[in-house]
Structure 1
Amino acid sequence: MIYYLITLIILGLDQLTKYIVAATMDIGQSLPVIRDFLYWTSSRNTGAAWNILEGQMWFFYIITIIVAFVVIYYIHTVGRYHPLLGVALALILGGTLGNFIDRIFRGAVVDFIDVYLGSYSYPIFNLADSSLVVGAILLLVYTYLDAKKEKRQHESN
């Protein structure tokens, strides 16, 4: 199914970029990509977004396994019939598995995308995080569109 190919592409790109950062940069080292806006900054995160629940690895293992099974179930039962939902779930699965692999094999998630918006420094993130966010946004769009479709069908009956 195409959705698993999307998941594998996300997972491959995520792990490749994290490997390159971990192998070639010291933690804390920062390289400008677009000065005053985008940097590659080698960082490690033992929590969730913004280091929430830092060090609670068993919690993340359990949650990740549950989320992965739920997402796979929905890809097979609903997502396969609705392309937008399938892509959203594939992106969520790829991001979830990308960070899960880091937690298992590195003991922390490798983050490196460092964005500055004026004087604000956005928390450092990675491709798996980006995939999760885009997948969640697409899931919201799908839910909105599906609700509108249901409402139109209900009104026409």
Structure 2
Amino acid sequence: MASRSSSSPAGLTTWLLIAAVVILADQFTKILILGAFRLGDVHPITSFFDLVRAHNFGAAFSFLHGASGWQRWFFLGLGLAAATFIVWLLRRHGHQKLFASALTLILGGALGNVIDRAIHGYVVDFIQVHAGGWYFPAFNVADSAITIGAILLILDELRRVRRT
């Protein structure tokens, strides 16, 4: 009988399959953008939402975008290390549904962006939200999954603290 502190192999497989769906959705949308848009193209969808093609050589909000190229390998390695740690956490805590859901979204998003860095040397961003002349940095499906996962982690922690 498996201990409560570890996830069954079937449970881990389920979480990894969900992460794979996130990766596939992320990569599919990026392939569509790469095929239909040139770098810098902007196609307005609504008054506050555009589809664009942007290349992010840095991290969140283009952090280190202008560095000399070392950041590609740094963020690729960091993403792989984070993915390894997340899988370890899922093995131990896969029975905690909200926590594991959060980790799974972060895992799928991180690996989606790692794939971009490995193949292209940059992350393909294509979602642009704006209002009143203010533009949020372009992002993608992987970034959205990471953000939702982070929000779920915060909710999970708030629920845990509230129970104690």
Flag whether TM exceeds 0.5 (same fold): yes
| Regions of 4+ moved over 3 Å | none
Matches within 5 A, 1:93-112: 93-112=107-126
1:46 corresponds to: 57
Query: Cα RMSD over matched residues?
Result: 0.9
2:103 corresponds to: 89
1:8 corresponds to: 20
1:148 corresponds to: 162
- Counterpart selection for 1:59 from 39, 61, 74: 74
2:29 corresponds to: 17
Residue identity opposite 2:41 in structure 1 = Q
Residue identity opposite 1:144 in structure 2 = L
CA offsets 1:57-116 (integer angstroms, 9 cap, x no match): 1211221111001100001101x1111011100000000000000000011100000001
* Structure-1 separation of matches of 2:131 and 2:22: 26
The alignment partner of 1:43 has SS state of strand
- TM-score normalised according to structure 1 size: 0.91
**13-22 vs 53-62, greater mean Cα deviation:** 53-62
The alignment partner of 2:146 has SS state of helix
Residue identity opposite 2:58 in structure 1 = G
* Structure-1 separation of matches of 2:60 and 2:28: 21
* Structure-1 separation of matches of 2:123 and 2:134: 23
* Structure-2 separation of matches of 1:12 and 1:62: 21
Number of aligned residue pairs: give it.
Answer: 148
Q: Taking every aligned residue pair, what percent have the same amino acid on both sides?
A: 36
- Counterpart selection for 2:44 from 32, 44, 50: 32
* Structure-1 separation of matches of 2:53 and 2:124: 7
Residue identity opposite 1:71 in structure 2 = I
Structure 1 or 2: larger helix share? 1
1:69 corresponds to: 84
* Structure-2 separation of matches of 1:148 and 1:70: 26
The alignment partner of 1:138 has SS state of helix
Q: CA deviation at 1:3?
A: 1.3
* Structure-2 separation of matches of 1:117 and 1:145: 33
